[in-house]
Structure 1
Amino acid sequence: MTVDIETRPLPAARHARAAVAVLFFTNGALFANLLPRYPQIKEDLAIGNGAYGLAVAAFPAGAITAGLAAGVLVRRMGSARVAVLGTLLTGAGILAAGLAPSVALFATALFLAGAMDALTDVAQNAHGLRVQRLYGRSILNSFHAIWSIGAVTGGLMAAGAMSLGLSLGVHLAVAAVVLVAAAGAALRFCLPGPENEPAEAGPEQHGTEGAHGTSRVGLVLAALVLIATAGTLVEDAGNSWAALYLSDALHASAALAAWGFIALVGAQFIGRIIGDRLVDRFGQRAVARSGGLITAVGMGLALAVPTLPGTVLGFALAGFGVATLVPAAMHEADALPGLKPGSGLTIVSWLMRLGFLLSPPIVGQVADAAGLRTGLLVIPAAGVLVVLLAGVLRARPRRD
């Protein structure tokens, strides 16, 4: 009888894991279908760089505005339903953005898409963490790796649509229908029931009753936000500045300059593929601390001795080093004692997006004042910050 009880949930857990993988894939692919179309949209709307920059900033602005509502919706509706509903509305927002006849409607549609994307992000991670608890080992990094595959697939879908001469409306409508349908089909395989699993209090987190415990939880949550933000800051540096630094400072051709971003994203994907095994073997704390050290030393040396191969390698090491930071922070925040289900995850996800929004102008201001090489010191600085704060993450569990 005991054997039956232990083995019965396994098929459901495997089905739920596949369903969450589909949710991460569709989330990555949806917005990636729109990004390669931005130049065409800018041209069709006949707007300048300033107006265009403000318009596309509506996406992260929407995410930040709606992000804190995710926890409440997850508790009321369930993480799976929120993720699928968010995917549906994200697809609608992206389609509306592609068809918008004015810059105001374009920005409004992006705001909606960003808001719904934030809800989807929290909900799919919350459900992924539920599945991870059933597995009894780390699997969250693999979901984030699948998100990366989805983003690449979405970009390829857009490239294929443009090569076939499909109109913007037809392309985005087909992409939205296919991806939303896939997310909807995944819903039936998600885990049933409310989001009421008890928090997994670690050895360092027992005995947190009272004002002292509340204060400690707040400090741990703040440290987790900084760890996640460090990961997003490094990722954004690759997105926004890698090609510019390689082309301007190191005089690389456009084709070679693209390799800074490719190296960072590719190494980050590899880090997430193997991240779950590393976490299970060494613990979140050791993996994050080692990753922070790799980021700080790798990119620090690349900036100290600037060469084209060394800098590409530095970006790769940075991407590999931060690969597990966001999943680690989300997992730890979701398990904090004394918080409602989904609250810690929601706060980390929300404030982490502020890093995406604020890091480009900060790096830009430093670059204008002292050069982009100096501005990119934020990458090794982020690695040092992770090394210092990794103690709030879980050590490797003891095995009897």
Structure 2
Amino acid sequence: MALSTAGAGLAPARVRRARIAVSAFFLTNGALYANLLPRFPEVKDAFGLSNTLYGLAVVAFPLGAILIGALPARAIRRFGSGPVAGLGTVLLCACVAAAGAGAGPGAGTGIGLGVFLVAMFLGGALDAHVDTAQNAQGMDVQRARGRSIINSLHALWSLGAVAGGLMGTAALVLGVPLAWHLLGSGLLWSAVALVALRSALTRAEGTALRTVEPDATTTAAPGDSRPARDPVPAGDPVPAGAGRGGAGRVVVGHLLPVAVIAIAGVMIEDVGANWSAVYLTAELRAPLAAAGLGLVAMMAAQFVGRMLGDPMTDRWGRVAVARAGAALSAAGMLLVVLAPGPAAAVAGFALAGFGCATLVPAAYHAADDLPGLKPGTGLALVSWLMRISFLSLSPAVGALSDAAGLRWALVVVPVFALVAVLMAGVLRARP
């Protein structure tokens, strides 16, 4: 696809700087929280939590995101996606560091658990703002560049998660206290976000890009029925002819099915983030130093899948790529469930990570294309619905694992991936 940027008045050098800035946002967001994930078994032991209570504790993060509703979209419209992504990252770093301090010395007193839960809750609320803002910034840069970049941006998020997972594993092996580890990580990634903010697209630039008409030569990828986005002025609440009832029909008829595809993708990520370390060490008896390998393998494979995602989507279309990816995700998670040892489980996590690579980017792209919604609303609502799945998944896995074992509790994930295979057609762009 090719969009003219003349109406936005952006020079090529300006677009390149914005591309680097949004790439840094995605990389930082992936790395920041991933630093904590390999140390979740340590957190679980520090508080003496059962699987059920552990599952409830880790959902404080998505719960914070869920309760803020559509606030990220409002913040983006008021301040611009760049400031929300950059400054939100700094505050998110502080919350993750506070969570690490709560799980440090004195964690067994009850005060530590309270600090951990509050910090995770606030961190989730901030992450919802950062996630929506960086995707909005990415879609604007994509319009400025005139070709798809959203999968490669999510690839950088995966690369950041790999880097964060390796940082967390290294800190664990070296015996670095959790609080000091997360404080150092937060300072590093805060600095990256603040530097990136200097080159991010401004609110005015983003508004100008959203009013640019597609070139007459624009063509849709196979499987799509129109160009990447219809021009809708950013100040208009809905296109002409679409009232409140029309917006409601868009949400129910189009956005919810798109959110199901996104949820299928993030369920894989959620299991890798919250349960892979516990699964490898508790169920498959992997050494503690190998606890983070499932997450690292998943994110590394997801990075590769997302780097290939843009050319694959250009060639075969969002629907075909998403359907194949969901099928690979189901196969990978089934391998995890049936794995006789840690090596097979790590391979299963890698296959699932490669398969789910394009699901969330495709869902975000489809949500941002929907007419009848204010700018940023589709992205915010899909992100919000994904986090609702976070709220239910970990407690469900924890409760099922206490009753039947963690291995069989994970069966719900490949089943949901198969649902995504059947629903992938909703990603086809509509005229």
**With structure 1 as the length reference, what TM-score do the two structures score?**
0.82
Residue number in structure 2 paired with 1:132: 142
| Contact residue 165 and residue 292 of structure 2 kept, 8 A | no
Match of residue 390 from structure 1 = 424
Residues 332/166 of structure 1: CA separation in 2 closer, same or farther (3 Å cut)? same
Superposition map of 1:1-400 within 5 A: 5=6, 9-35=11-37, 47-49=47-49, 55-100=57-102, 102-103=111-112, 104-158=114-168, 171-194=181-204, 195-196=206-207, 197=210, 203=225, 209=242, 211=245, 214-242=248-276, 253-254=286-287, 260-297=294-331, 299-300=333-334, 302=335, 312-367=346-401, 372=406, 374-394=408-428
- 1:329 offset after TM fit, Å? 0.7
CA contact (8 A) 2:37 2:273 kept: no
Structure 2: give runs of 5+ residues left out of the alignment. 215-219, 231-239
Contact 1:281 1:396 in 2 (8 A): no
Which amino acid is 2:17 matched to?
Answer: H
1:371 and 1:218 mapped to 2: Cα distance? 36
Letter in 2 for 1:320: F
The 2-side partners of 1:289 and 1:208 are apart by 33
User: 1:160 and 1:374 mapped to 2: Cα distance?
Assistant: 30
CA distance in 2 between counterparts of 1:281 and 1:328 reads: 14
Checking the alignment, whether the CA contact within 8 Å between 1:282 and 1:396 is kept in structure 2 is no
Report the alpha carbon displacement of residue 369 of structure 1 after superposing the two structures with TM.
Answer: 5.4
Deviation of the 1:198 alpha carbon = 5.3
Could you give the per-residue CA deviations for residues 4-51 of structure 1, whole angstroms, max 9, x where no partner exists?
Answer: 9599632222211110111112222222344456677678xx633257
| Structure 1 residue identity aligned to 2:397 | V
Report the CA distance shift for 1:169/1:298 in structure 2 as closer, same or farther (over 3 A). Answer: closer
The one of the two structures with greater contact order (alpha-carbon pairs below 8 A, sep at least 6) is: 2
Aligned counterparts of 2:181 and 2:125: Cα–Cα separation in 1: 22
Check whether the contact 1:26–1:183 (CA below 8 A) recurs between aligned residues. yes
3-state DSSP of counterpart to 2:62: helix
The residue matched to 1:341 in structure 2 has which SS?
A: coil
Deviation at 1:267, TM superposition (A): 2.1
Could you tell me which amino acid in structure 1 is paired with residue 119 of structure 2? Answer: A
Partner AA of 2:267 in structure 1: L
SS in 2 for 1:49: coil
Per-residue CA deviation, residues 129-182 of structure 1 (Å, 9 max, x unaligned), is 111122232211212221222233334445566677766655444433332222
Deviations 1:188-242 (A, max 9, x none): 2111234542599974799984656752452110001111111111222334455
Specify the SS of the correspondent of 1:333. Answer: helix
Identity %: 48
Tell me the matched-pair count: 391
* 1:317-368 CA-partner distances (Å, limit 9, x unpaired): 3221111111111111111101000001001111101222211233344455
**In 1, Cα distance between equivalents of 2:380 and 2:267:** 19
Unpaired stretches in structure 1, ≥5 consecutive residues = none
**Which structure shows the bigger proportion of residues in helix conformation?**
1
Query: CA–CA distance in 2 between the matches of 1:34 and 1:313?
Result: 22
Q: C-alpha distance in 1, partners of 2:79/2:340?
A: 52
Q: Give 2:314's aligned amino acid.
A: D
- Offset at 1:247? 7.0
Matched residue type, 2:327: L
CA displacement at 1:380 relative to structure 2:
2.8
Distance in 1 between the 2:374 and 2:316 partners? 29
What is the alpha-carbon distance in structure 1 between the residues aligned to residue 179 and residue 332 of structure 2? 44
Check the 8 A contact 1:286/1:395 in 2, yes or no.
no
Q: Deviation at 1:269? A: 2.1
Distance change (3 Å), C-alpha of 1:208 and 1:313? farther
RMSD of aligned Cα (Å): 3.8
Preserved CA contact (<8 Å) 1:238 1:261? yes
**One-letter code of the match for 2:375?**
P
Q: Is the 1:282–1:395 Cα contact (8 Å) retained in structure 2?
A: no
Q: Normalised by the size of structure 2, how large is the TM-score? A: 0.76
Deviation at residue 313 of structure 1 after TM alignment: 4.3
Letter in 1 for 2:317: G
C-alpha distance in 2 between matches for 1:15 and 1:55: 40
